[in-house]
A = this chain, B = another copy of it.
Amino acid sequence: MSDDALVVFLPSGKRGNFPLGTPLLDAARSLGVDVDSVCGGRSICGRCQVRLEEGQFAKHGITSSLANASEVGEAELRYANKRGLVEGRRLSCQTRVLGNLVVDVPPESQVHKQVVRKRADVRDIEVDPEVKLHYVEVAEPDMHDPSGDLRRLEQALESQWGITGLVTDLRVLQEIQQALRDGEWKATVAVREEKRLLAIFPGFKEKIYGLAYDIGSTTVAVHLCDLETGQVLASDGMMNPQIRYGEDLMSRVSYVMMNPGGHLKMTEAVRGALNGLAERVAEEAGIELTDILEVTVVGNPVMHHLVLGIDPTELGGAPFALATDQALNIWASQLDLRINPDARCYLLPCIAGHVGADAAAVVLSEGPHLRDEMSLLVDVGTNAEIVLGSKERLLACSSPTGPAFEGAQISAGQRAAPGAIERVRIDRESLAAKVKVIGCDLWSDEEGFDEAVAKTGVTGICGSGIIEVIAEMYLAGIINEDGVIGGAGRQEDPIVQDGRTFSYRLYRDDDGKELRVTQNDVRAIQLAKAALYAGVRLLMDRMGVEQVERITLAGAFGNHIDPKYAMVLGLVPDCVVSKVANGGNAAGTGARIALVNRAARREIEEVVRRIEKVETAVEPKFQEHFVQAMAFPHKSDAFPHLSEAVTLPPRGVAAGTAVAANQGGRRRRRRAS
């Protein structure tokens, strides 16, 4: 036993006896300790760095000394001089066991690195991408034993990396001879799914990249990720250029119905956006487009079909049949992406005809299928995509909310852009509003507001602004539970008669130009929120629950609304307010998880398969829930948790008794408060 030494690896605590002279990397591998290496132990990649610990390790029963490891040799010194090596770090491939050792493997040397996410309530991302780099040394051709370059490369991959049964892209064949000779028979190859040879680079290649796209009806967003560390190097977004064919989803589908074959124009448009974004993030990160080898794409069903060049007409009417609800692996070039020509693209599965790959990505990001809590995920757009459930069971549906939440169908509505009102507070006494607009940090009653917004003006109300103004109008008693705007009470009130109904004057600039909220605006929001809530309620019925324990509001809109106001309006059911979260760009995050973690792809495919799809259009109770949910918050439900967080007006005022009754109601409430 004197020729053996004990080596303990931290943090795993794995240990074993090894003959003196064993390289630490080999020792780690034989114990199943997770240590990375791209170059295969040739002191080129520096991925296998470890730190040797010195001292008495009573728990492990050994004394560890730096003298128990071989000294820094020539190869390691060359690496340190060329690429730098942090004090105390050693290349485990070059360090040999000379006595008992305690070896610490830092997180960045592990194959399965973790990307820590900002939100504490979601799991971290394990980095294990579908495409990986492998450095190989290939035998030169020999006239006495002729064989193709590819065969010798395959033999090298098998003996040096244990990879067998490779399928090789044509482009690799077109480049293999030059690459092997340029690299003097050393090369780095990119292998996908442990079986597809996607690319070959001469010599040692350290980095390849991936793009995670989230294609929304309004905005297309992308993350550029380092496929080795999983880190986001750059993110960007742009307006979906399909907008010229229709503001919202259904008008784009209508465009195709009116112009057969017209979907291809939209396909071309959105693919142009994907390329534009790729160029922008590549430039920002200072990388070559040809080093991007993997792409993931999520989007709602219509976006999913359009980017694939599939006519979305079937999604425009019952029975809302998707071309496919399964995950897809295609060539990125099939989406006309001008990145590495052999890059591949993974599209997450769609859940149902109106619940898309974006909803699947939200599930992947939020992980309701991993939780005991009853979680509700809502992605609000023209259609709300709704998922409810826990690790036991998951349900999904969509609700036809229409475009009101996106600012369409609202008289003063507009897209979220500089000049749009996004925050609103209404004084409970004077009923006067103060607002905040996008692009300015000041409230409208603060010093300097007028100058700050002089450039854009105050141009309209965006989606999140509409939620706030209507919620504030309700809280201030300007509208009653039935959504009727009261008025004509006091001369000075900002409530004006507008034909047979009343409008609320939200903002008036120095020129006297006004932004108003009309009775029709309130009705449009009522219809939208009732549809959303009815869908949620349907899933709760099906699940047999009366309460949800966790709510995530996803999507560009869901991400900007204040959860409290969403609950005041009754967009979502009652819940502990602290458990209602904005999901951030949860769909984009889901795309990013699928980009850097191959197991996440199998996971979401499996989860989507077992999600039970509920079609609201054929559920008789949908209409009933819809009607009941028109009120604020709604007639049928108690909101115990909401009441703790917000001072709600007293309930029970009859609706539809027009101005006087409302005004009276408002006065009564004001007295009561």
Contact = CB atoms under 8 A, between A and B. Distances in A.
Interface of A: 140-144, 146-151, 168, 170, 173-174, 176-178, 308-311, 313-314, 318-326, 328, 330, 334, 350, 352-353, 613, 615, 617-618
A146 B613 contact: yes
A325 B618 contact: no
Contact of A618 (B140, B143, B314): B143
A142 B326 contact: no
Contacts of A174: 308-311, 323
A308 B140 CA distance: 23
Nearest to A614: B146
Given A146-B352, A146-B613, A148-B350, A141 B319 contact: yes
Contact of A173 (B142, B148, B323): B323
A321 B173 contact: no
Given A143-B320, A143-B617, A615-B143, A177 B310 contact: yes
A314 B177 contact: yes
Given A148-B325, A150-B324, A177-B323, 18 more contacts: A141-B321, A143-B615, A143-B618, A146-B319, A146-B320, A146-B321, A146-B325, A148-B350, A149-B321, A149-B322, A151-B324, A168-B324, A170-B330, A173-B308, A173-B323, A173-B324, A174-B323, A177-B314
- Interface majority SS (helix, strand, loop, mixed), chain A: loop
A334 B334 CA distance: 12
A147 B350 CA distance: 10
Contacts of A322: 147-149
B319 A147 contact: no
A143 B620 CA distance: 13
A44 to B, nearest CB: 25
Contacts of A144: 615, 618
Contacts of A313: 177
B141 A323 contact: no
Q: How many copies does the complex hold?
A: 2
B311 A178 contact: yes
Nearest to A168: B324
Contacts of A142: 319
23 contacts: A143-B318, A143-B320, A143-B617, A146-B320, A146-B321, A146-B613, A148-B322, A148-B326, A149-B314, A149-B321, A149-B323, A150-B324, A151-B324, A151-B325, A170-B330, A173-B308, A173-B324, A174-B308, A174-B310, A174-B311, A174-B323, A177-B311, A177-B314
Contacts of A350: 148
A148 B310 contact: no
Contact of A319 (B143, B150, B318, B325): B143
A262 to B, nearest CB: 14
Contacts of A168: 324
A170 B328 contact: yes
Ranked 4 nearest A-B pairs via Cβ: A141-B321, A148-B325, A150-B324, A148-B322
A174 B319 CA distance: 18
Contacts of A321: 141, 146, 148-149, 177
Contacts of A325: 146-148, 150-151
Contacts of A319: 140-143, 146
A147, A148, A328, A615 — most chain B CB neighbours (10 Å)? A148
A149 B353 contact: no
Given A178-B311, A310-B174, A146 B326 contact: no
Contact of A324 (B141, B148, B353): B148
Contacts of A141: 319-321
Nearest to A147: B325
Contacts of A618: 143-144
Contacts of A320: 141, 143, 146
A607 to B, nearest CB: 16
Contacts of A334: 170
A144 B617 CA distance: 10
Nearest to A355: B146
Nearest to A181: B314
A331 to B, nearest CB: 9
Nearest to A353: B146
Contacts of A173: 308, 310, 323-324, 328
A70 to B, nearest CB: 39
A311 B330 CA distance: 27
A147 B148 CA distance: 47
